[in-house]
Amino acid sequence: MAYDTVEKCSAPSNGDWNILHWILGTICMPVAIPLMLINLWRRSLVAKQRKLLPGKVVLITGASSGLGEALAHVFYKAGCKVILAARRVEELERVKKDLLALEVVGTAYPPSVLQLDLANLNAIPTFANNAVAIHNGIDILVNNGGISVRAEAISTGLDVDLKVMTVNYFGTIALTKAILPSMVKRQKGHVCFVSSIQGKIAIPYRSAYAASKHALQAFSDSLRAEVAAKGIKVLCVSPGYIKTQLSVNALTATGQQHGKMDKATAKGMSTDECAMSILNSLLSNEKDVIISQVTASAAYWVRFLCPPLYFWIMEKRALTTEKEE
């Protein structure tokens, strides 16, 4: 009896192999080969464009920590002339010091530091002029600066909604509009908006944050079409959870600091991994990219393909999150 069982579980028969070969040849190979060729083409494009990076002027907002700091390292090591911008000048100076201590293959340019408060809309045109004047232009604008919220929509003060929308949306587009004329004049430039997966799908207790990122997504889509003929490229990146202080520094319903690290954020991808993915997306001329773990990407497709299921899942998530709070 045992012998028969072993015999039945032995190597597949010729018929089984024929079926397997048919599946691989008829279904998998026609899909795999084009994907492989596209991947090879993308890699060659990235390698080619990377050679053109040295000397490019890159302005990064929110560069004092987290993803912005990681982006500063990536572009600096690629030989770019990096301009670091954020509210906290002392932290920008720390990042600059760290960059200067790096060993870089090829020419390295000393980073520049400029203070920027995205909430101060009236000061942004002057900031943009100062940034452009440093190297007589900006080749790549990385709109990374922003804040988040952890609060129930019904209890969130309107002043909190306004602050989040001002920083994440109005401040970002004000800077973009102030930099764009210099790019149009030169007929070249690349604008990168660091949005969020929540710019595509919204989850409970993130209403203000998700709304600001949804708006940023829509603006980037419209802008991309308008400036394409002017030689300017637009990329919107939507990362999933990244291991940063975003949740710790997030605002509560009353505008206070949340002060807690979310479990999902703590398990998120590293800033270095995300920064490198953003650089490669820029180099391969991507237009709209999701950079996330499988679960976040799956949630996006569930929302797109089966909205009722997504809404049901979010309702259950809201109840669970409410109990944790």
Instruction: Please state, in angstroms and rounded to a whole number, the distance separating the CA atoms of residues 174 and 195.
Output: 16
Instruction: Please state, in angstroms and rounded to a whole number, the distance separating the CA atoms of residues 302 and 34.
Output: 25
Asked if residues 23 and 47 have their Cβ atoms less than 8 Å apart, the reply is no
Instruction: Please state, in angstroms and rounded to a whole number, the distance separating the CA atoms of residues 90 and 52.
Output: 31
Q: Which of 205, 209, 241, 300 is catalytic?
A: 209
- In the chain, what are the helix, strand and coil shares in percent, each to the nearest 5? 60, 15, 30
Distances (CA, A) of 47 to 41, 79, 201, 254, 278: 10, 14, 33, 48, 14
> Would you call 3 a catalytic residue per the annotation?
no
Selection from 198, 211, 219, 81 nearest residue 143 by Cα = 219
Instruction: Please state, in angstroms and rounded to a whole number, the distance separating the CA atoms of residues 147 and 165.
Output: 9
Selection from 236, 53, 57, 63 nearest residue 139 by Cα = 57
Instruction: Please state, in angstroms and rounded to a whole number, the distance separating the CA atoms of residues 34 and 11.
Output: 32
CB atoms inside a 10 Å sphere around CB 35: 9
Instruction: Please state, in angstroms and rounded to a whole number, the distance separating the CA atoms of residues 95 and 91.
Output: 6
In three-state secondary structure terms, 192 is strand
Instruction: Please state, in angstroms and rounded to a whole number, the distance separating the CA atoms of residues 143 and 29.
Output: 40
Q: Which residue has the tokens 């398990």?
A: 267
Supply the DSSP symbol for 254.
T
Q: What's the full length of the chain, in residues?
A: 325
- Residues identified as active-site: 209
